[in-house]
Amino acid sequence: MTQTRFEKTIKSWRTNDAHIGDAIHKHFTEVEPSLEDWIDVYTEGMRVWGLVFEEALDEFDLETDVLAGVAASAWNLALTQVVQALELSGVGQLEETLRGMRDAEA
């Protein structure tokens, strides 16, 4: 994953006694274009967890279950909002529309 300019702030939050919520939000905003689905968001969340708490998460930890649930729910909500905004019948129709757009570009 691409490092962002906010990672130094995230890593050093204990020594700076800083509130890092804003830096974490900006980090995810900056890496967002490289994230393709909720699994990428989840994986990046695990990586940032390691930066903040100086410990890696195991994929079977309870914390990773929470991160996966949040990432998947946010992804599904975003897709639902796009489907509604485009007045499509569902996520399947959205995927079909996007596939057709990709095929037309090729």
CA distance 106 to 100: 10
Asked, for residue 73, whether it belongs to a domain, the answer is yes
Asked, for residue 95, whether it belongs to a domain, the answer is no
Tens place of pLDDT per residue across the chain (106 aa): 567 778 888 887 777 766 788 888 888 888 888 888 899 999 999 999 998 888 888 888 899 999 999 999 998 899 999 999 999 998 889 888 888 988 898 7
Domain count along the chain: 1
Asked, for residue 98, whether it belongs to a domain, the answer is no
Cβ neighbours of residue 60 under 8 Å, at least 6 residues apart? none
Asked, for residue 106, whether it belongs to a domain, the answer is no
pLDDT score at 64: 92
**Which structural domain range is residue 62 located in?**
7-81
